[in-house]
């Protein structure tokens, strides 16, 4: 059964700027796991889906995203989920929370996921995760907190990622308002 997740990706210049921060964290602290994926905001964490349901999921996501309009996403500063996750914070979370709720509902209705109680949703862009050593967490967090980061972009669609057994690949992009 394929493993998938759904995310919003920033445009290329911003993705590259964020990749450079991830590279710096890798160089200073040895945390490289976050580099496995492009910068993204996860809307639906990984879920397993039967192969036969993937075409229907594509149709459902297309219908859903056709009804949405692009919206602004504002990023500012850094945050953390102790003891190992560092991220860029989203300062305009409500549009993302709304899309997250709608996608969760769509996935539940289509029986793609069975979450009874949705997780708390804190939109962010991960910079370091599981492979950041606990002993480096505080120093890395302080390093980021002494920096300034501000950016914004227009969210124009969502991406369905699928795991190929080794890495995550973009399965398909679904543009808003098509």
Considering only residues 114 and 95, tell me which one the structure prediction assigns the higher pLDDT: 95
Q: Which tokens sit at 166?
A: 């080794």
Considering only residues 115 and 174, tell me which one the structure prediction assigns the higher pLDDT: 174
pLDDT at position 54 is 94
Phi and psi (nearest 5°) for 13? -60, -40
Is a pLDDT exceeding 60 seen at residue 117? no
pLDDT 10s digits, 127-161: 999 999 999 999 999 999 999 999 999 999 999 99
pLDDT 10s digits, 44-95: 999 999 999 999 999 999 999 999 999 999 999 999 999 999 999 999 999 9
When pLDDT is cut at 50, 70 and 90, the band that residue 116 belongs to is low
Contact residues for 72 (Cβ-Cβ < 8 A; gap 6+): 92, 95, 152, 153, 154, 155
CA neighbours closer than 13 Å in the CB half-sphere of residue 76: 4
The mean pLDDT value for 85-108 works out to 95
Phi and psi (nearest 5°) for 30? 75, 10
Rounded CA-CA distance 61/174 in Å is 7
């Amino acid at each position: 059964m394929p493993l998938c997740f759904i995310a919003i990706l920033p445009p290329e210049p911003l993705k590259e700027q964020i990749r450079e921060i991830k590279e710096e964290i890798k160089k200073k602290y040895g945390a490289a796991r976050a580099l496995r994926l492009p910068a993204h905001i996860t809307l639906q964490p990984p879920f397993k889906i039967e192969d036969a349901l993937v075409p229907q999921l594509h149709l459902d996501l297309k219908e859903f995203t056709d009804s949405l309009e692009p919206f602004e996403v504002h990023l500012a500063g850094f945050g953390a989920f102790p003891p190992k996750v560092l991220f860029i914070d989203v300062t305009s979370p409500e549009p993302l929370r709304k899309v997250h709720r709608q996608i969760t509902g769509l996935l539940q209705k289509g029986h793609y996921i069975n979450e009874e109680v949705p997780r708390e949703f804190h939109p962010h862009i991960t910079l370091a995760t599981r492979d950041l050593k606990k002993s480096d967490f505080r120093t890395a967090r302080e390093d980021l907190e002494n920096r300034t980061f501000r950016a914004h972009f227009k969210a124009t669609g969502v991406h369905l990622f699928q795991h190929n057994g080794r890495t995550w690949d973009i399965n398909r992009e679904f543009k808003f308002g098509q």
